[in-house]
């Protein structure tokens, strides 16, 4: 068995290597593009492979993906050679650095670049430590409800090799029928890791951690570099600011920590993690960059495959940032040069998403746009206060007594620095848009501008507020680079010799960041680890337990092929399928199923001795085993639940089973029991 460090390294390779290899083979060497586009391009590549396997009937899996990657790299390399032969070397060279950029030179530039990389790496290490502390082990299952779906879908793809948008998610995993659309990007990648490790929960956690503590820092670093490039800030300063942004990104409670704690909305967190990087490459794409535009289009389709809301997040942020370009003459020129390539990127995205959109329209079960807000409106002043306080909120902090005040204040100071320095108008444009969304949403969550934008995010405060959090790392990076520029500037009275000024700027950066890290940031990371532990290493409620593991192993040995198991998916019974491919009846945690017969069994199974309808369903489904956990966690429903309740725990039909004819308890461990069902012969 690989060590946990090696497991995480394998997870990082699966998420980053395909996209990185394609970019390098295509001739891209700019660190901004490699950092911002590698993970999204991997997701686009995985989508393409899933479409191919879905159409051809081939099995989606690690072997297929590796073969497909080799083919893509060969084709990309061949295409690159043809282009090199037809176009002059000058047209193929990387963009030269603008002479007007405020850049460091010589040894100070090298020191700044190394320092930025060390700071970023330090952030990754701190993030890994924080997540491991909260999880206890990479294999620890989360107890949240959305991850029931993620685990079942990952296992389904691993077992069946089906991964295309129109092939998942089957509500009936026994017969692979009643398909409902669920964005498969996150679980497709998790399934590839499951092919390697054979452990679904481990794979899901590895993908989550990689996106949070590796992809997210790379993504915000790329966005910071793009912002400063348009601010005419160059070599040395860019790397330093990007490193600061990477470190700050692992301190953010939203999106990843909050989403893992409140519902386990892991694909949405992953989609938000790649958003800054995709915005970054779109901000710096240039005239006639058609190949890069096509790659962006593939990556955008991959982002949608992670979570459909990613497109709106990327589109809103990019448009707002590009409006910031219009403030300066050079920005307006860059805006004009980027339009046609971005149109091509949009066309590629739309074409690749046709199968997903058709699957969504045909298989999806409704829309999120009419969901009511999950918060009450507050006074306008309090709504503005959200930007500064960054309250934890949610189920972790229902009274809003905790906040990330230091990060919030640093973000606002960063806005001031960006405006006064006149070097980050793209960042200001993006911040103004999302600040307006957040403030108006908190002030009037069901009507107005914020509520209108919030329709794309279920009108859930945490999902909407996360967009402000994504900008904070870059805002903090701008603070440090502006201070550095002032310190080395010859226009300001400065008794320090010119050669020593960069060293003073670097020293101040290290001291300030070090002080923040060992004080405030340390507190934030401890709080984040504690929040994670409530769903992983020391859960407040238990869905999966050792009792479920024992019951699953027992059933694996005793259930005959084809014998279905009636279960309540809100307990740990989904492990039967996830770990052992056993045919469970239910996979929806709140008990609400498109298969009405499943709902009827959950509601009325214990009436089977006198209910011919229930008996008929049990016979047709060949239900021979009943799995019951009397201590199931409470989960909210959609308000249209068959039980008439707004919450769901133990299914009524699975209670009071003692003494029913033909039902024999064959296994018991704690609150978990397994019954053998022997119906009387039909007359």
The pTM (predicted TM-score) of the whole model is 0.94
pLDDT reading at 97 higher than 60? no
Q: Please, which residues bridge with residue 584 across strands?
A: 565
pLDDT for the residue 368 = 53
Average pLDDT over residues 65-89: 85
Residue 597 CA, chain-centre distance (Å), reads 34
What residues are paired with 629 via a beta bridge?
Answer: 672
Output the DSSP codes for 130-169: HHHHHHSSTTPPP--SHHHHHHHHHHHHHHH---STTT--
DSSP string computed for 89-110: HHHHSPPPPPTTSB---HHHHH
pLDDT for the residue numbered 81: 84
pLDDT at 640: 81
Average pLDDT over residues 374-388: 93
Spatial strand order in the sheet of 672-677: 564-566, 623-629, 672-677, 663-669
Banded model confidence at residue 396, pLDDT cuts 50, 70, 90: very high
pLDDT for 624: 96
Reading the block at residue 129, the tokens are 């430590």
Q: What confidence tens digit (pLDDT) does each residue in 481-540 have?
A: 999 988 887 665 667 777 778 888 899 999 999 999 999 999 999 999 999 999 999 999
pLDDT digits (tens, 9 = 90+) for 608-643: 999 999 999 999 999 999 999 999 998 988 778 888
Question: What pLDDT sits at residue 673?
Answer: 96
- Mean pLDDT, rounded, for 201-223: 98
pLDDT at 86: 64
Q: Rounded CA gap, 340 and 516, in Å?
A: 43
Cis bond upstream, residue 255 (ω within 30): yes
Residue 52: its H or E element:
helix 31-56
Average pLDDT of 449-474?
95
Residue 626 three-state SS: strand
Q: How far apart are CA 364 and CA 366, in angstroms?
A: 6
Question: Distance between CA atoms of 523 and 405, rounded to whole angstroms?
Answer: 12
SS (H, E, C) 536-561: CCCCCCCCCCHHHHHHHHHHHHHCCC
The mean pLDDT value for 68-94 works out to 76
Angle between helices 185-197 and 62-86 (to 10 degrees): 120
Query: Is the pLDDT assigned to residue 369 strictly greater than 60?
Result: no
Residue 100 has pLDDT above 60, yes or no: no
Q: How far apart are CA 507 and CA 490, in angstroms?
A: 19
CA distances from 264 to 168, 257, 545, 596 (A): 19, 9, 17, 26
Distance CA 248, CA 276 (A): 14
SS3 230: helix
What is the DSSP annotation of 418-433? HHHHT--HHHHHHHHH
Q: What pLDDT is stored for residue 517 in this prediction? A: 96
Whether pLDDT at 366 is above 60: no
Q: Could you report how far apart the first and last alpha carbons of the chain are, in Å? A: 55
For the chain, give the mean pLDDT.
92
Angle at 440 between CA 438 and CA 442, to 5 degrees: 65
Q: Which of 97-106, 191-200, 232-241 has the lowest mean pLDDT?
A: 97-106
- pLDDT confidence of residue 493: 66
Average pLDDT of the segment spanning 22-29: 95
The answer to whether residues 50 and 64 touch, using CB atoms and an 8 Å cutoff, is no
For range 200-209, the mean pLDDT:
98
- Residues 261 and 398: their CA atoms lie apart, in Å, by 13
Q: Which of 93-102, 168-177, 360-369, 407-416 has the highest mean predicted lDDT (pLDDT)?
A: 407-416
Judging by beta carbons within 10 Å of its beta carbon (0-12, 13-18, 19+), is residue 38 exposed, middle or buried? buried
Instruction: Dihedral sign for Cα 239, 245, 251, 255, please.
Output: negative
Q: pLDDT tier at 90 (50, 70, 90 boundaries)?
A: very low
Q: What is the mean pLDDT of residues 540-563?
A: 94
Which string of DSSP letters, residue by residue, matches 400-416?
---B-HHHHHHHHHHHH
**What confidence score (pLDDT) does residue 93 get?**
47
| Average pLDDT of the residues in 303-313 | 96
Residue 332 makes CB contacts below 8 A (sequence gap 6+) with 325, 326
Whether 12 shows a pLDDT value over 70: the answer reads yes
* pLDDT, position 177: 80
Residue 625, beta-bridge partner list? 565, 676
For 172, the 3-state DSSP assignment is: strand
pLDDT of residue 89: 54
Which of 263, 265, 299, 260 is CA-nearest to residue 182?
265
- Of 42-46, 136-140, 176-180, 276-280, which gets the smallest average pLDDT? 176-180
User: How many CA atoms within 13 Å lie on the side-chain side of 20?
Assistant: 12
Q: Is 617 helix (H, G, I), strand (E, B) or coil?
A: helix
Predicted pLDDT at 501: 82
Rounded distance between C-alpha atoms, residue 423 and residue 244, angstroms: 17
- Is 449 exposed, middle or buried (CB count within 10 Å of its CB: 0-12, 13-18, 19+)? middle
Of 318, 473, 272, which is closest to residue 390 (Cα–Cα)?
Answer: 473
Task: Copy the structure tokens of residue 88.
Answer: 């002059």
Ramachandran region of residue 622, left (φ > 0), alpha (ψ -120 to 50) or beta? left
């Amino acid at each position: 068995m690989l060590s946990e460090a090696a497991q995480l390294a394998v997870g990082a390779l699966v998420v980053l290597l395909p996209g990185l290899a394609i970019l390098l083979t295509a001739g891209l060497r700019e660190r901004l593009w490699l950092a911002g586009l590698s993970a999204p391009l991997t997701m686009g590549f995985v989508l393409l492979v899933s479409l191919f396997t879905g159409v051809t009937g081939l099995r989606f899996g690690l072997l297929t993906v590796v073969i497909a990657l080799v083919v893509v790299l060969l084709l990309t390399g061949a295409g690159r050679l043809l282009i090199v032969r037809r176009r002059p070397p000058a047209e193929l060279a990387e963009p030269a650095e603008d002479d007007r950029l405020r850049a460091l030179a010589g040894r100070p530039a090298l020191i700044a670049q190394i320092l930025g990389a060390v700071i970023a790496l330090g952030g990754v290490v701190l993030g890994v430590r924080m997540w491991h502390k909260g999880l206890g082990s990479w294999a620890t299952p989360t107890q949240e409800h959305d991850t029931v779906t993620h685990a079942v879908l990952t296992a389904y793809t691993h077992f069946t090799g089906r991964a295309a948008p129109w092939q998942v998610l089957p509500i009936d995993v026994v017969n692979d029928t009643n398909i409902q659309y669920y964005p498969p990007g996150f679980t497709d990648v998790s399934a590839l890791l499951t092919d390697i490790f054979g452990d679904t929960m481990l794979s899901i956690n590895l993908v989550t951690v990689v996106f949070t503590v590796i992809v997210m820092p790379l993504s915000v670093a790329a966005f910071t570099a793009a912002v400063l490039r348009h601010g005419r800030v160059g070599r040395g300063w860019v790397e330093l600011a990007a490193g600061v942004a990477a470190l700050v990104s692992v301190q953010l409670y939203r999106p990843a920590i909050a989403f893992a704690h409140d519902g386990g909305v892991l694909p949405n967190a992953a989609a938000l993690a790649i958003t800054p990087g995709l915005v970054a490459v779109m901000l710096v794409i240039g005239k006639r960059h058609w190949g890069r535009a096509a790659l962006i289009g593939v990556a955008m389709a991959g982002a949608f495959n992670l979570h459909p809301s990613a497109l709106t997040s990327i589109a809103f942020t990019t448009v707002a940032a590009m409006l910031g370009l219009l403030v300066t003459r050079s920005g307006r020129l860059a805006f004009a040069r980027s339009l046609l390539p971005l149109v091509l990127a949009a066309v590629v995205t739309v074409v690749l998403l046709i199968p997903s959109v058709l699957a969504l329209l045909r298989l999806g079960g409704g829309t999120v746009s009419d969901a009511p807000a999950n918060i009450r409106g507050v006074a306008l002043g309090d709504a503005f206060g959200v930007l500064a306080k960054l309250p934890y909120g949610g189920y972790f902090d229902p009274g809003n007594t905790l906040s990330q005040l230091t990060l919030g204040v640093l973000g606002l100071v960063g806005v001031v620095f960006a405006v006064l320095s006149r070097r980050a108008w793209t960042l200001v444009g993006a911040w103004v848009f999302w600040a307006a969304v957040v403030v108006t949403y908190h002030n009037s969550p069901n009507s107005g501008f914020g509520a209108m934008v919030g329709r794309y995010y279920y009108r859930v405060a945490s999902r909407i507020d996360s967009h402000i959090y994504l900008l904070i790392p870059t805002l903090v990076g701008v603070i440090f680079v502006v201070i550095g520029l002032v310190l080395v500037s010859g226009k300001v009275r400065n008794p320090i010799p010119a050669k020593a000024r960069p060293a003073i700027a670097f020293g101040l950066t290290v001291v300030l960041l070090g002080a923040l890290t060992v004080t405030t940031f340390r507190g934030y990371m401890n709080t984040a680890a504690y929040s994670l532990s409530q769903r992983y290493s020391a859960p407040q409620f238990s869905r999966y337990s050792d009792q479920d593991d024992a019951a699953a192993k027992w059933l694996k040995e005793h259930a005959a092929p084809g014998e279905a198991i009636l279960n309540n998916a809100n307990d740990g019974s989904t492990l039967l399928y996830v770990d052992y491919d056993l045919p469970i009846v239910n996979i929806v945690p709140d008990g609400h199923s498109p298969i009405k017969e499943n709902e009827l069994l959950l509601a009325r199974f214990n009436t089977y001795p006198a209910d011919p309808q229930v008996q008929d369903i049990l016979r047709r489904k060949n239900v021979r085993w009943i799995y019951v956990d009397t201590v199931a966690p409470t989960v909210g429903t959609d308000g249209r639940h068959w039980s008439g309740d707004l919450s769901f725990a133990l299914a009524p039909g699975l209670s009071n089973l003692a003494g029913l004819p033909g039902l024999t308890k064959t296994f018991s461990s704690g609150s978990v029991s397994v019954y053998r069902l022997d119906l009387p012969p039909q007359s």
